Amino acid sequence: MTEKRPRIGVVGSSNVDVVTYIERMPVWGETIAAPRFEMSFGGKGANQAVAAAKLGADVVMVSKVGDDMLGENVLGNFAALGVDTKHVGRVANQTTGTATILVNPAGENLILIVKGANGDLTPADVDAAAADLSRCDLILLQLEVPLDTVYAALEFGKRHGVKTMLNPAPALRALDRDKVRLASFVAPNETELAILTGLPVETEEEVAAAANLLIADGIETVIVTLGARGALLATPEGLKPIPPVKVDAADSTGAGDAFIGSFARYFAAGVSLEAALGKATRYAADSVTKRGAQKSFATEAEFKAICATAGRAS
Ligand code: RIB
């Protein structure tokens, strides 16, 4: 089947990630040495935009950065990767968003966010990008920018017949269910699913029950990302597990974003829902074998080679 060129909009955050790879956590008052430090481009919105762009989608980013050196660099990174930045504003006297990230030897992370300019993205910025967003196949949203802006983008999508995908990350308790229902896809991880539903998600059965609750609540399609256990697709027609791709994890930072950005790219190109989820699972798995967020995302050529090798191996 011939793919159409996908066009993705992202209304979301842009960060600089300050990453320290640690052997163990210090306790309060203790100083210890860590083996490695890196700075790289991140932010859930920017990561999803970059994954889609690296895979060949046309991507328009609606975001805010500070008037600092980091903001300059974030804009340069988007430009180098072909992401359209005409709706990325610079906020005077504000810092660019940052994420201080600690990664342990198992590749697990913990993240501290300073919102900076991401906190200044407003519904008016969604309106200002209306002409470009209305031409998108899919608009991606996360929760690192003000909720009113996320809601405005969900309403925009509904009004203009543009599909939207809400990745409710980082998890927030205070989401308005009526607004969440506007999304064509809601894609939480297990923690976010537990917080969205108030249900336990320890077992497969509990995850399924929580996903079904969202469907019963009127959400069109729920995609639960389960890390090394793959993903779960829930629709009014039923549940479908998406099998994992096994890899040795080096750093899981940005894996969820790799999943969503790559899913968006393939789904918007006309690939079926399940096939696009299969691609996203493989793309995200590959990203955890490398360090960092955006820099761990494969290009379209690299990913084609990965898929071809996997095809030969299976
Ligand atoms: O999802 C990973 C991202 O979360 C990191 O890049 C960091 O910036 C935080 O926003």
Instruction: Give residue 208's Cα distance to chain centre.
Output: 22
Whose CA is closest to atom 2 on ligand 1? 254
Distance 284 CA to ligand 1 centre (A): 14
Whose CA is closest to atom 8 on ligand 1? 43
Regarding pTM above 0.85, the answer is yes
Q: At which residue do the structure tokens 């990203």 appear? A: 287
Residues 184, 220: Cα–Cα separation, whole Å? 6
Residue 168 pLDDT > 60: yes
Six token digits for residue 132: 């470009």
Q: pLDDT, tens digit, for every residue of 94-149?
A: 999 999 999 999 988 999 999 999 999 999 999 999 999 999 999 999 999 999 99
The amino acid at residue 249 is: A
Q: pLDDT, tens digit, for every residue of 206-255?
A: 999 999 999 999 999 999 999 999 999 999 999 999 999 999 989 999 99
Which ligand 1 atom is at minimum distance from the Cα of 101? 7
How many contiguous H segments (helices) and E segments (strands) does the chain have? 11, 13
Instruction: Kindly give, in sequence order, each residue whose CB lies less than 8 Å from that of residue 41, ignoring residues fewer than 6 positions away.
Output: 14, 15, 16, 17, 50, 73, 74, 77, 293, 294, 295
Distance 41 CA to ligand 1 centre (A): 9
Q: Residue 3: helix, strand or coil by DSSP?
A: coil
The amino acid at residue 181 is: R
Average pLDDT of the chain? 96
**Under a CB-based contact definition with an 8 Å cutoff, are residues 49 and 140 in contact?**
yes
Pocket test for ligand 1, best of 48, 50, 101, 288 (most atoms within 8 A of CB): 101
Among 252, 254, 255, which residue's Cα sits nearest to residue 281? 255
**Under a CB-based contact definition with an 8 Å cutoff, are residues 201 and 210 in contact?**
yes
Residue 314 pLDDT > 70: no
Kindly list the protein residues whose Cβ atom lies closer than 6 A to any atom of ligand 1: 15, 17, 42-44, 47, 99, 111, 113, 144, 253-254, 256-257, 293
Distance 185 CA to ligand 1 centre (A): 20
The residues that are catalytic are 257
Q: pLDDT, tens digit, for every residue of 45-70?
A: 999 999 999 999 999 999 999 999 99
Residues 57, 6: Cα–Cα separation, whole Å? 5
Whose CA is closest to atom 7 on ligand 1? 43
Q: At which residue do the structure tokens 């976010």 appear? A: 192
Six token digits for residue 259: 């999943």
Distance 18 CA to ligand 1 centre (A): 10
Domain limits, the chain: 7-15+44-96+116-313
**Architecture of domain 7-15+44-96+116-313 in this structure:** 3-Layer(aba) Sandwich (3.40)
Q: How many CB atoms lie within 10 A of CB 193?
A: 26
Among 293, 304, 277, 288, which residue's Cα sits nearest to residue 165? 277
